[in-house]
């Protein structure tokens, strides 16, 4: 049985990746910041599949080099999912950039030393936004200009982490595959609603969010994201490529809200917030400032290579959004 070091196993995407790996017959070594999380993670995963002894844990810190070599020493692949995420703008952008870059390099250095032949890295469409001005036709050759006016700390962190990965492997006997979701939705396995995606859906369906921002981008189902992560481990054609894993076309947050409204979520507001208001509020709110790369803009990425190489079709947008709302509602006891 081939074993995968899966970093960030306790996260929203990480849990889905763990379940998908176990379903496909891989053994999983999941990294957590503290082994105290291992029991909760095991209990969550066991609700969806019996690990049958194929699940273990190790303790790793993105900012510390200790433990990485030992963690990867008995593994066949590395799936590096762990990365910091905040929509709010931190006071110091290095709070995001440093752990993203150093964690990626710690994973790759350890994998290289252990002779791992392929690493699958979770990147993001935000590493592909060009000059961050909208109306970008995004593909696997697109890169975000980290010096662009609207490039936030999060955009920089994902872009610089991925660039550091490609730079590291270019002269190594190692293959890299990067996975690029847009905003990620879909059911939560753990019931943790504190993440950005779950928080947004919770605020929308409870009526707390009164207006949507005017923005469009390809959106991603977490189940698709996990599936392609796992398929990328051994697909020969995937070597050294970047893959957008998202809907065929860009969708707006208004379309997201409207889908919910039309399907019985009566508290949902579908009114758009005026762009000038969001820009004004960004002067006072770090959360609003974090949305500025998207306000009034549309980003659309091509998923043609992902569909072709993996013989894959994305989960339909309506199903993704409604399954997310159903999952969130269940944990809210609505």
Q: Which residues are catalytic?
A: 158
| 3-state secondary structure string across the chain | CCEEEEECCCCHHHHHHHHHHHHCCCEEEEEECCHHHHHHHHHHHHCCCCCCCCEEEEECCCCCCCCHHHHHCCCCEEEECCCCCCCCCCCCCHHHHHHHHHHHHHHHHHHHHHCCCEEEEECCHHHHCCCCCCCEEECCCCCCCCCCCCCCHHHHHHHHHHHHHHHHHCCCCCEEEEEEECCEECCCCCCCCCCHHHHHHHHHHCCCCCCECCEEECCEEHHHHHHHHHHCCCCHHHCCEEEEECCCCCEEHHHHHHHHHCCCCCCCCCCECCHHHHHHHCCCCHHHHHCCCCCCEEEEECCHHHHHHHCCCCCCHHHHHHHHHHHHHHHHCC
């Amino acid at each position: 049985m081939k074993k995968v070091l899966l970093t960030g196993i306790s996260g929203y995407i990480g849990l889905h990746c763990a379940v998908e790996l176990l379903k496909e017959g891989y053994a999983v070594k999941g990294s957590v910041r503290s082994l105290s999380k291992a029991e909760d993670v095991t209990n969550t995963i066991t609700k969806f599949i019996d690990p049958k002894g194929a699940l273990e844990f190790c303790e790793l810190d993105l900012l510390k080099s200790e433990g990485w070599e030992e963690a990867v020493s008995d593994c066949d692949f590395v799936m590096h999912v762990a990365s910091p995420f905040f929509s709010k703008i931190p006071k110091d952008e290095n709070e995001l950039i440093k752990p993203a870059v150093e964690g990626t390099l710690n994973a790759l250095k350890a994998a290289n030393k252990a002779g791992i032949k392929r690493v699958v890295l979770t990147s993001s469409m935000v590493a592909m936004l060009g000059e961050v001005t909208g109306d970008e036709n995004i593909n696997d050759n697109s890169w975000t200009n980290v010096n662009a006016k609207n490039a936030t700390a999060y955009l920089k962190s994902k872009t610089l982490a991925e660039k550091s990965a490609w730079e590291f492997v270019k002269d190594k006997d190692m293959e890299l595959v990067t996975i690029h979701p847009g905003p990620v939705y879909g059911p939560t396995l753990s019931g943790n609603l504190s993440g950005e995606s779950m928080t947004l859906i919770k605020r929308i369906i409870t009526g707390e969010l009164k207006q949507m921002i005017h923005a469009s981008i390809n959106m991603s189902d977490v189940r698709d994201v996990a599936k392609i992560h796992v398929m990328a481990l051994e697909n020969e054609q995937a070597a050294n490529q970047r893959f957008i894993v998202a809907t065929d076309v860009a969708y707006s947050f208004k379309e997201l809200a409207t889908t919910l409204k039309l399907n019985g979520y009566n508290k949902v507001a579908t009114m758009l917030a005026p762009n000038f208001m969001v820009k004004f509020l960004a002067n006072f709110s770090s959360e609003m400032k974090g949305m500025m790369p998207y306000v009034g803009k549309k980003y659309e990425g091509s998923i043609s290579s992902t569909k072709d190489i993996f013989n894959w079709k994305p989960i339909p947008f309506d199903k993704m959004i409604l399954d997310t709302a159903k999952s969130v509602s269940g944990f809210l006891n609505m």
